[in-house]
Amino acid sequence: MRGGSVLGQLVSACGLLFAVVLFNFVVLHLAPGDVAETLTSATGGATKEILDQVRHLYGLDQPLHVQFLAYLSRLLHGDLGTSAYFNAPVAGLILDRLFPTALLVGTALVLAIVLGAMLGIVAARRPGGIVNSLVSVLSLVGYSAPVFWTGILVLLAFASWLPLFPAQGMVDPRLSGGPIARVIDVLHHLVLPAVTLASVYLAQYSRLARTSMLDALGADYIRTARAKGLGEHTVVYKHALRNAILPIVTVAGVQVSHLLAGAVLVETVFGWPGMGRLAYESILRRDAPLMLGILFCTALLVIVVNMATDLLYRAIDPRIRTQ
Amino acid sequence: MTVRSQGPQSPLAEAWAIFRRNRPALLGLALLVLIVAMTLVGPTLYGVDPLDIVSAPLLPPGDADAPLGTDYLGRDLLAGIISGGRASLAVGLSAALLTMGLGVTVGALAGFYGGWIDRLLMRTTEFFQVLPPLILAMTIVLLFRPSLATVAVSIGLVSWPTPARLTRAEFLRIRELDYVRAARAMGARNRRIIWRLILPNAAPPLIVAATLTIGAAILFEGGLSFLGLGDSNAVSWGLIMGMNRPYIFEAWWATTFPGIVLFATVLAVSLIGDGLNDALNPRQRER
Amino acid sequence: MTPPTAPLLQVDGLSVEYVLPATRAFGHKRVMRAVDEVSFSVARGTSFGIVGESGSGKSTTAAAIMRLVAIASGRILFDGERLDALGGEALRRFRRRLQIVLQDPYSSLNPRARVAEIIREPLDIQEIGTRGERRARTDELLALVGLRPEAGRAFPHQFSGGQRQRIGIARALATNPELVVCDEPVSALDVAIQAQVLNLLKRLQRERGLTFVFISHDLGVVHYMCDQVGVMYLGRLVEIAPAKRLFSRPLHPYTKALLAARPSIHARDRVSKAAGAIAIGDPPSPTEIRSGCRFAGRCSAAQAICRREAPLLEPKDEQHEVACHFATP
Amino acid sequence: MTAPVLAVEGVTVERQARSGSVRILRDLAFTVQPGETVALVGESGCGKSMTALAIMGLLPPRIRVAAGSIRLDGEDLARADARTLNRIRGDRISMIFQDPMTALNPVFTVGEQIAEVLRVHRGLSPANALARALDLLKAVDISDPAHRLRQYPHELSGGMRQRVMIAMAVACEPRLLIADEPTTALDVTVQAQVFELLRDLKRRLGMALILITHDMGAVAELADRAVVMYAGRAVEYAPVEELIRAPCHPYTQGLIGCIPDMESGDANAELTEIPGMVPDLAAIGPGCAFADRCGLADAACRAELPPVMERAPGHRVACWKA
């Protein structure tokens, strides 16, 4: 699955990106109805003049391949089109929302991996213990609970009955304070959505960590390590963990796209001003250019993150590095 | 595969014997039967139209007219939950069928024939793994008008690569096994090798995957409806939750109750999936 | 002396190639010759053994004879017919005349089929006999390999390794083949069980006049089973001789090294091993073959010519062929 | 006679199961003298590898030494705590395994893995340990040792990996090395090299060796004395030459007779078969476990377990009919 040179990875990443662009283009043209109407439906029925203007702007009267090349060239110049509802460039709208989403998804991912790995390791070391049962229940519940429902329960519990955290948004607009106070305020807002989003992946990673740790602990090289007279701590945390971490990195990389998708629901529930919330808004307004722009940008994000995990994997697995 | 009653235990009989002793899995099965029964016969037994306004809005549970309370328009929540199951389950089930059908077919072709078919599939799954599934489905539903069919198709479209990869891996593994080589040496045709040798032996993980896919599709449908992208004419659990979301602090029941049923349904399916996994893949049972 | 007959199987310049994935992003695909210009013939009713270590190409040769891998070049004549030229339905029908017994008693039987179905499978595939006849034949085959008729209703996982190998042998004999290719049939079994299976194979050969191509890494097994033996090293046959002759008077340095390396219960009686007889180093990877004799890098007798020119397999006398520039008894 | 390096006495190992415990080793006793090679030989499932793991204190979960003692230079390993065992393992006693492909940790270099032993047991600094690891790689005849030191296991061939395992095992010049089927996964020409290396190291370091194998040929090549095991019990103890020349136990006789051997002349003679198969350990009756497969067995054999009896000096057998 993995392997090949870094250059090869880069080439295939560009290929994927091109496929995403092509997909966007095709889907837009396959959609029922006139393309210009689809693009402008967010304005609530455009006049004939506006439709003509859009047709001209996007070159919709041109042959398809010319349209595609034009589309491609606009993308290369950072032009993702214009949001019909906001009447603003899509690229700018998305860029404004990038940081909140990255903060939310990043925090959730780190939380899920660190906690999940810890639980999984403890569970693997004591197959009959409480933590092991906890991991089993947690993974089952985490997998089965709809994340938007979890979010609502969390809101009801920790923003309403026990009002420890703010219910909506990322910053308190009434706040007046220095930068440190602002950071604290953002973190305060971050707790509930991040925990909610992490809960799903915590379930998965704890189970995965347990499986891979059990695999590693049962491997022949662990018996070798014990036969060398190494202490239990060295055996578990040096010899086993270094191997058990590999599948977690792989899965974390693959799941970034799922995490971004989950962020749509979580951001909607918590009013978090990220790309997911923007996607929700674009659906409410039937804003096709914005939605397509978001699809493109999230795909780009996933590709970048995947390449980063690939590099990380190379760094920690010598079998890939020295092939 | 036929299971005769006499003679030593077949792998299938053995699997059922293991499953029967798995209490969580049986619990899941019972729960699922209950929920399916509720959606099938519930609307006739509880004859309240889920779209009728029966009482004051946001009435708390325990009311004589609406046992589970009312939503923001004053519609009976219980009636909504009972009827909502139909859309959720129908979409979940048909999307899962589509996912598995597409995934298994493509995966089997790629795994069995290899070559360019395989390379094409691998590229395609890579492509779909790059697109965040929910955002992709949102785009499709937005552009193609929401309906139960659009929702089911879009879920199937974004989910098939997972079973396809699994099927491909199983086919790649099994086609190199000695009993398949032996069958080739006997002159077996590809059709026989695929249907009689590889598919039955690849079935256990695929059955488990199919179960999990149903759960995932139900969740997915819930998410789309919650965002208002479901079929607005068909009541579904996700739709009720999405519409009542602005009133969670005033009426916790209107979002919590449908959520519980949705959760219970997926939980039941997951429990059955876990049970099937233990029963069909005995080697991993110790886990 | 047996009267000379036309060979049942004749392999002539057989080569099999594998394409390896490129090591670099835009690098060239590399071709590996797993079997390189292999020629030998097997007389009807005899056993031809192929010995060699891992990577020698012995199992690939077996697969090529069974037409399970693509042949790059060369001819395979079976009873005078061009087996290598057959295809489609003709090849399919032809397969009843040759069968294979595989190494792994665990993966060679379909875990989801009952033993009777497994043994009957070749008859079903080749559409031989009526249902009743196939059933009778199955019982007959079970008895032939020393299993009770009730075994037919059981599933493979209910049997031990040795019994499973018996089932595999019964399956191979279902269509009454003339040639049976045995690919390491006993190497996964414990010695005591190995003897049971070897004796069974030998008895079956005697009773039914079977012809065997017998692949093994174990010199003792080949010596016990075979009339004629070929030694393979990195895809090439380096020596062919009657079994007794090969083991008593080997000519190729590699054969000598193999014999010297084999642990024997008579080690104590043997004069201490000549140091030069043990091959030096590890066998090189089949993907990195250089010109010249393939054994040159590990051979203590290698000269300059060995690294330059690959020796051909040439007859030293009527019975003995060897591929070495300096072959000495 | 000098004091033995290892004295195994009355060792019984049990596996805990829901349905009760199963004895997988029964009343095992043997000694290993300094510098001596003792082979444990038998078919799979006879308990030979379990014996090695019991000596090393590496028994898998739910398997434990229920009775007996395992004394290394007088110190009982069966009763030692984890800390003591860690001090001894890899230092005074070490072990190599069957599959060199999986026995080395794939994510550390060869050098790191060898150096680790020296750092733990000898307290060497990382640099000194690595320098010593280089010497060890030279000692096990690995080509280009300085380069190999920085390589990962997957970059080495099977034979080289087993050499690395050996280098690691002898790093602290142990009193006893246990080799569990050390060449089963290797080609025969490489096997001969590994045997040669083991013989050479034994001579140089004066260590004792326990060779665990299913191959009588390997026993004859390498061992001084052999213990033949069947279904968790030692059925015959003898010096190797005597064992091969005049085996007493019917099982040993069968084991030697069933080897296709080209030096014993007549290839047309059928191989001796041991009929049937190894019994299920949980279902062994009160008598001799081999009785069901033995041509000589009678009612007495099935009724009562034959004790280990001395046939000749150093040659002991557990059989009523021997």
Q: Which of A219-228, C106-115, C290-299, D192-201 has the lowest mean pLDDT?
A: C290-299
Of residues A40 and C222, more confidence is placed in C222
Asked whether residue D253 is domain-assigned, the answer is yes
Share of chain A above pLDDT 70, in %: 96
Neighboring chain A residues of D165 at a CB cutoff of 8 Å: 224
Say how far apart CA C101 and CA D22 lie, in whole Å: 36
A165, two tokens: 């955290």
Residues facing C50 on adjacent strands: C215, C230
Are residues D166 and D221 located together in one domain of the fold? no
Average pLDDT of span C116-130: 93
Say how far apart CA D294 and CA D251 lie, in whole Å: 7
Say how far apart CA C189 and CA A55 lie, in whole Å: 76
Q: Per residue in A42-91, pLDDT tens?
A: 666 667 777 777 777 777 777 777 888 888 888 887 777 777 777 788 88
Q: Are B242 and B225 a contacting pair, CB within 8 Å? A: yes
Q: Which of A121-135, C190-204, D38-52 has the lowest mean pLDDT?
A: A121-135
Domain count, chain D: 2
Q: Are B272 and B254 a contacting pair, CB within 8 Å? A: no
**Option in C53, C263, C266 nearest D187 (CB):** C53
Say how far apart CA C69 and CA A272 lie, in whole Å: 59
Say how far apart CA B262 and CA B248 lie, in whole Å: 17
pLDDT at D130 over 90: yes
Average pLDDT of span B52-66: 74
Give the minimum alpha-carbon distance from D60 to chain A in angstroms, rounded to a whole number. Answer: 10
Mutate to test the interface with C, among D155, D258, D292 (most CBs of C within 10 A): D258
Average pLDDT of span B100-110: 92
Average pLDDT of span C189-206: 90
Q: Which of A35-44, C54-63, D267-276 has the lowest mean pLDDT?
A: A35-44
User: Strand, helix or coil at D14?
Assistant: strand
Are residues D14 and D76 located together in one domain of the fold? yes
Chains B and A touch (3+ CB pairs under 8 A): yes
Q: For D20, left (φ over 0), alpha (ψ -120 to 50), or beta?
A: left
**Option in C192, C264, C283 nearest D261 (CB):** C264
Residue owning tokens 């397509």? A292
Can you give the pLDDT at residue B4? 37
Say how far apart CA C158 and CA C166 lie, in whole Å: 13
Q: Are D94 and D177 a contacting pair, CB within 8 Å? A: yes
Are residues D177 and D159 located together in one domain of the fold? no
Radius of gyration (Cα) for chain B, nearest Å? 22
Q: Are C150 and C158 a contacting pair, CB within 8 Å? A: no
Of residues B267 and A58, more confidence is placed in B267
Average pLDDT of span C113-130: 92
Q: Are C99 and B185 a contacting pair, CB within 8 Å? A: yes
Asked whether residue D322 is domain-assigned, the answer is no
pLDDT at C308 over 60: yes
Chains C and B touch (3+ CB pairs under 8 A): yes
* Chain B residue closest in CA terms to A12: B123
Amino acid at B105: T
Give the pLDDT band of residue B3 (cuts 50, 70, 90). very low
Domain count, chain C: 1
Are residues D185 and D273 located together in one domain of the fold? yes
Q: Is B232 on the interface with A (CB under 8 A)?
A: no
CA D221 to chain centre: 15
Give the minimum alpha-carbon distance from B194 to chain A in angstroms, rounded to a whole number. Answer: 24
Amino acid at A236: V
Q: Are C11 and C65 a contacting pair, CB within 8 Å? A: yes
ipTM: 0.85
pLDDT at D31 over 60: yes
Chains D and B touch (3+ CB pairs under 8 A): no
Contact C107 B183 (CB under 8 A): no
Strand bridging mode D233-239 / D225-230:
antiparallel
Average pLDDT, chain A: 84
Neighboring chain A residues of B222 at a CB cutoff of 8 Å: 146, 148
Say how far apart CA B218 and CA B99 lie, in whole Å: 12
Contact A11 C23 (CB under 8 A): no
Say how far apart CA A59 and CA A73 lie, in whole Å: 13
Neighboring chain D residues of A322 at a CB cutoff of 8 Å: 151-152, 154-155
- Measured in degrees and rounded to the nearest 5, phi and psi for residue A36 equal -65, -40
Asked whether residue D310 is domain-assigned, the answer is yes
Cα atoms found within 13 Å of the Cα of residue B252, Cβ hemisphere only = 13
Contact A149 B127 (CB under 8 A): no
Measured CA distances, B196 to B100, B165, B170, C113, C125 (Å): 19, 21, 15, 10, 11
Are residues D165 and D177 located together in one domain of the fold? no
Asked whether residue C327 is domain-assigned, the answer is no
Can you give the pLDDT at residue C2? 45
What is the domain range of residue D115? 100-171
Helix residue ranges, H only, chain B = 11-20, 23-45, 77-113, 115-130, 133-143, 148-159, 161-175, 178-185, 190-192, 199-226, 237-244, 252-280
Contact A242 D108 (CB under 8 A): yes
Say how far apart CA A209 and CA A245 lie, in whole Å: 8
Give the pLDDT band of residue A2 (cuts 50, 70, 90). very low
- Measured in degrees and rounded to the nearest 5, phi and psi for residue C216 equal -160, 155
Scored b (16 or more CB within 10 A) or e, D233-262 reads bbbbbbbbebbbeebbbbbbbbbbbbbbbb
Give the pLDDT band of residue A322 (cuts 50, 70, 90). low
Q: Which of A136-145, A160-169, C111-120, D134-143 has the lowest mean pLDDT?
A: A160-169
Can you give the pLDDT at residue D315? 92
Say how far apart CA C96 and CA C108 lie, in whole Å: 18
DSSP assignment, residue A222?
Answer: H
- Measured torsion, CA atoms of residues D14, D16, D19, D22, in degrees rounded to the nearest 10: -10
D231, two tokens: 């279904």
Domain ranges of chain B: 33-44+68-281
Can you give the pLDDT at residue C28? 64
Are residues D165 and D234 located together in one domain of the fold? no
Say how far apart CA A151 and CA D240 lie, in whole Å: 74
Give the minimum alpha-carbon distance from C100 to chain B in angstroms, rounded to a whole number. Answer: 7
Q: Are D98 and D181 a contacting pair, CB within 8 Å? A: yes
pLDDT at C137 over 70: yes
Q: Per residue in B173-218, pLDDT tens?
A: 999 899 999 999 999 999 999 999 999 999 888 988 898 899 989 9
DSSP line for B19-58? HHT-HHHHHHHHHHHHHHHHHHHHHHHS---TTSB-SSTT
Residues facing C229 on adjacent strands: C49, C241
Q: Is A18 on the interface with B (CB under 8 A)?
A: no
Contact C91 B184 (CB under 8 A): no
Can you give the pLDDT at residue B6? 41
pLDDT at A138 over 90: no
Q: Which residues, other chains included, contact D80 with Cβ-Cβ below 8 Å and sequence gap of 6+? A: D57, D88
Asked whether residue C1 is domain-assigned, the answer is no
CA angle in degrees (0–180, nearest 5) for A140-A145-A147: 130
Range B33-44+68-281 has CATH code 1.20.140.10 = no
Say how far apart CA C272 and CA A287 lie, in whole Å: 88
Q: Is D269 on the interface with C (CB under 8 A)?
A: no
Can you give the pLDDT at residue A39? 73
What is the domain range of residue C244? 9-322
CB atoms near residue C317 (< 10 Å): 8
CB atoms near residue B54 (< 10 Å): 18
Share of chain C above pLDDT 90, in %: 56
Can you give the pLDDT at residue C1? 41
Structure pTM? 0.87
pLDDT at D322 over 80: no
B67, two tokens: 């046992």
Of residues A167 and B197, more confidence is placed in B197
Can you give the pLDDT at residue A281? 87
Neighboring chain A residues of B217 at a CB cutoff of 8 Å: none
Residue owning tokens 């048909």? B94
DSSP assignment, residue C154?
Answer: S
CATH no. for residue C138? 3.40.50.300
Q: Which of A167-176, A214-223, B88-97, D264-273 has the lowest mean pLDDT?
A: D264-273
Are residues D243 and D302 located together in one domain of the fold? yes
Asked whether residue D12 is domain-assigned, the answer is yes
User: Strand, helix or coil at B263?
Assistant: helix
Say how far apart CA D58 and CA D65 lie, in whole Å: 11
Say how far apart CA C232 and CA C238 lie, in whole Å: 6
Average pLDDT of span D224-241: 93
Say how far apart CA D211 and CA D233 lie, in whole Å: 17
Closest C-alpha to D202, from D17, D12, D38, D59 = D38
Of residues D260 and A295, more confidence is placed in A295
Average pLDDT of span B77-106: 89
Average pLDDT of span C171-196: 92
CATH no. for residue D52? 3.40.50.300
A42, two tokens: 């967010």
Say how far apart CA B281 and CA D197 lie, in whole Å: 44
Can you give the pLDDT at residue B105? 92
Can you give the pLDDT at residue C115? 93
Mutate to test the interface with D, among C158, C190, C194 (most CBs of D within 10 A): C190
Q: Which of A10-19, A157-166, A199-208, D52-61 has the lowest mean pLDDT?
A: A157-166
Q: In what order do the strands lie in the sheet with C7-20?
A: C30-43, C7-20, C73-78, C81-82
